[in-house]
Structure 1
Amino acid sequence: MVRASHPSVDPAVDAAALLRRVGFFGLFVLVPVTTQMGRRAAVILAPIAVVLLVLASAIDGKSGPWRPAALRLLRNPAFLAGLLVVLWAALSLVWTPFLDLAAERLLNLIATILLTVAGYLALPERMRSANLYLLPVGTAAAALVAILLGLFAHHLPGTPGEIDGTLDRGLTLLALIVWPAVAWLRSRGRDLESLGLAVLTAVALVISPNLLHLAALAVGAAGFALTSLRPTLGVRVASLGAATLLVAAPLLPFLARPVASALFGTTAPGTLSLKAWQKIVTGEPMRLVTGHGFETALRGRIVNLLPANAPTTLLFELWYELGIVGAFAAAFALRAAIRRSGRGTPVLVPGAMAAFAAAFTIACIGVGLTVMWWLTTLTVAILAFVAVAHGQFRTRRPKASQLARHEAP
């Protein structure tokens, strides 16, 4: 009796597959879940997961030649504009009053960017569905953990402020990765499951009410709905809206303060924060050109270089630290990235616009410019979407009759 021949087993390929599986499990499941409970979980686990993906790619080469991919990335206008922001931040070390701290933070920023690029280059050209289904599984698990913590956090040991701060970081990640998870499920024709995942995430965010997360959820959902109905309009609104806000940020306190005073009163914290921003703009108009230097916004509050109630948002800190050069370069990079995502696989575009809208909302409301856990959160979201995009090489299972005709001699 003749046995059917089997291809030889390559231990290296099996090891690479195992490393890749563990890496994606860490990135898509462990990071979202543990971030709900540990303040530094994402900062610690995400680099480990990316390293595993890089090792797997180095072993089996399924990510394809890295040099052409790197060259395409270097020719990408959004990436080049982002590099300009980093270079200008490095140049601003010349006039920043906190040279040592700013240099350390800049190195951390560069390390995070390199980590993201390494993860991007290590992703397989064709993602397996089994690995991508870990993303909605991890998102659902993180949402369930967040719901339990929101309901029973007061029974847990530790100070309430510490628990709430940790959960806020986890919910921020959850508000972002839900969109690539939804996009993946929709690309597989699982619309009901994607709706259920979105609802579960919304419940998790509502149970632990926070204006930041609720606003991100609402804006992301609006972007998703608009792009689903009118794809071209949704991409245009997202790209122009984000770029316009970055470019016109110094005008916002003058426009928003009267509205805030009428709605919330002149002594409301938000109104006073806008007043402080307004005084900074009018007090040093020439600093709008060069900025005060990298890391000045955060450290300046500690030594009273700027008011303690100054805004802690991307719009303020970008202009305050890097001036018009950094702000305009960042606006161009963001607009180019959104437009590039809008030219991707049509079924993924609504999720991409929702993720951009949610991330930009979070950055504009209350996350600093270079907070490490926030940068790591963005890394996880970016790699998740790129992985989902690499999983779109086939959208339908071939029919058995087609396979039979193809295999016939």
Structure 2
Amino acid sequence: MTRSVSQTVNPSADAAAMLRRLGFAILFFAVPLAALFTRRALVVMAPLAVILLVLASVLDGSARHAWDKLTALATSPGGIAGLVLLFWAGLSLVWTPFLPQASERLLNITGMILMGLGGYLAVPERMRSANLYLLPIGVGLAALIAIPLALTGGSRFDPEGLSLERGMLMLVLLLWPAIAWLHSRGRNLEAIGLALAVAVCSLLTRDGLPLYGLAAGAVVFVITAWNPIFGSRVTGFVMAGLLLFAPILPFILKPLATTLLGAKAPATVSLDIWRQIILNEPLRLLTGHGLETALRGRFYGLVPPNAPSTLLFEVWYELGLVGAVAGSVLLYQVVVGAKSHRATVAPGIMAAFACTYALGCLGIGTAQVWWFTALVVLVLIFVAIERGQFRTKRPKAILRRTI
């Protein structure tokens, strides 16, 4: 007589698995595709994906020891530097001339941080490979769609090509976690093909920013693949050093730019304006002018229109020495501390750091909400990839003779 096996039905676990799969599908697959057609896709879809992941973790109780994880993050050197930077940005509201706009920006930054922390706690400790393979599929499909869009200048939903440019930047950012996942699984040919597809898209775009970010990431990827410890430390030192010693750059680069590009070149003019701002207001290097002044000041005559549009200038102009030091410590600690227990993932992580930092230094609108959202998405994807690096091979069965 055979006994029927009763299967235990757990509606909460099934609902959590469905919500988690939907959340990762939005984050890994839908975001890179939708970003090519609409500029608001990332800002809308990323919080939706995080909410689904949080609901899934609540249903199945997978988010354990949340307080311990948050405490460890806050008390780490990078966490302390981040809290100091956030506190100083809030304190700068006292002397900023654009209090309503600066308050809104600070609120947006705080919201993005909270969203990132919620997503970090909601990502399961062990990620399924089926969910993570959605990322290279989504990036590859978006790259194939972006090639004809770049040739035609955009879709009918985006005749001016603004969404396409933002989507290409997002595609370049997501390339590195996709390559990291494929490389960790030994699928190097697929990783090379994916990189070539995104490189072709970058070459076809009107703006050179995606190509520059891709090149910076590729250089760091090769260095870190050769020596992971050296690559992470060099990346951290360069990123932190550029931010910390940014006021010296216009004095060093201005004569060089004049010789190579000419005195009337836009880059030369921007460097000269930055140099004059430092010489005219040296004491402002200590406190900065307050949050949002680098952007809003251009429209009200406080900042010359040809002033540099770069992360280095904006941090020093708005937050001064305190913000720059805190930001430098945060960058170095995050880069050096972002270690993977698999050497195949580390090059992709360092390449993503280099790519995002290069884009910020070359003039991307780092104060915009979509950019903060893109960074949060990038961090969450790498957290998911890191938690997908566990042993998938079953141990060999050992047969023993019993007497």
What's the TM-score bracket when you normalise by the shorter of the two chains?
A: over 0.9
Task: Tell me the residue number matched to 1:340.
Answer: 337
Percent identity between the aligned chains? 48
Task: Tell me the residue number matched to 1:123.
Answer: 123
Cα pair 2:154 2:164 within 8 Å, conserved:
no
Cα pair 1:22 1:52 within 8 Å, conserved:
yes
Shift of 1:211: 2.1
Cα–Cα, structure 1 residues 4 and 255, in superposed 2: closer, same or farther, change >3 Å? farther
Task: Tell me the residue number matched to 1:329.
Answer: 326
Task: Tell me the residue number matched to 2:270.
Answer: 273
Say which of 229, 253, 258 aligns to 2:255.
258
Task: Tell me the residue number matched to 2:380.
Answer: 383
Matched, 1:397 2:396: no
Task: Tell me the residue number matched to 1:168.
Answer: 165
TM-score (norm 2): 0.96
Shift of 1:374: 0.6
Task: Tell me the residue number matched to 2:28.
Answer: 28
Q: How many residues align?
A: 401
SS of 1:202's equivalent in the other structure is helix
Shift of 1:159: 4.4
Cα pair 2:158 2:164 within 8 Å, conserved:
no
Aligned residue type for 2:324? A
Distance (Å, rounded) in 2 between the aligned partners of 1:229 and 1:184: 18
Matched, 1:107 2:107: yes
Task: Tell me the residue number matched to 2:43.
Answer: 43
Distance (Å, rounded) in 2 between the aligned partners of 1:258 and 1:26: 48
Distance (Å, rounded) in 1 between the aligned partners of 2:98 and 2:124: 41
Distance (Å, rounded) in 2 between the aligned partners of 1:313 and 1:155: 29
TM-score (norm 1): 0.94
SS of 1:2's equivalent in the other structure is coil
Q: Which structure features the higher share of helix residues?
A: 1
Q: CA RMSD in A?
A: 1.7
Say which of 188, 193, 198 aligns to 1:196.
193
Shift of 1:106: 0.6
SS of 2:362's equivalent in the other structure is helix
Distance (Å, rounded) in 2 between the aligned partners of 1:23 and 1:157: 25
Distance (Å, rounded) in 1 between the aligned partners of 2:155 and 2:19: 38
Distance (Å, rounded) in 2 between the aligned partners of 1:199 and 1:44: 29
Cα pair 1:246 1:331 within 8 Å, conserved:
yes
Task: Tell me the residue number matched to 1:93.
Answer: 93
SS of 1:342's equivalent in the other structure is coil
5+ unaligned residues in a row in structure 2: which ranges? none
| CA-to-aligned-CA distance 1:109-128 (integer Å, 9 cap, x gap) | 10011001110110000011
Say which of 295, 309, 314 aligns to 1:317.
314
Alignment of structure 1 residues 106-255 onto 2, 5 Å: 106-153=106-153, 156=156, 159-160=159-160, 163=161, 165-255=162-252
**Stretch deviating more after TM superposition (2-11 or 222-231):** 2-11
Task: Tell me the residue number matched to 1:14.
Answer: 14
Matched, 1:366 2:359: no
Distance (Å, rounded) in 2 between the aligned partners of 1:19 and 1:157: 30
Matched, 1:300 2:297: yes
Matched, 1:290 2:287: yes
Shift of 1:63: 3.4
Cα pair 1:37 1:167 within 8 Å, conserved:
yes
Shift of 1:79: 2.1
Distance (Å, rounded) in 2 between the aligned partners of 1:3 and 1:347: 48
5+ unaligned residues in a row in structure 1: which ranges? none
| CA-to-aligned-CA distance 1:34-56 (integer Å, 9 cap, x gap) | 11111111011100010000000
SS of 2:345's equivalent in the other structure is helix
**Stretch deviating more after TM superposition (209-218 or 299-308):** 209-218
Aligned residue type for 2:192? L
Shift of 1:146: 1.5
Cα–Cα, structure 1 residues 258 and 193, in superposed 2: closer, same or farther, change >3 Å? same
Cα–Cα, structure 1 residues 262 and 58, in superposed 2: closer, same or farther, change >3 Å? same
Cα pair 2:274 2:307 within 8 Å, conserved:
yes
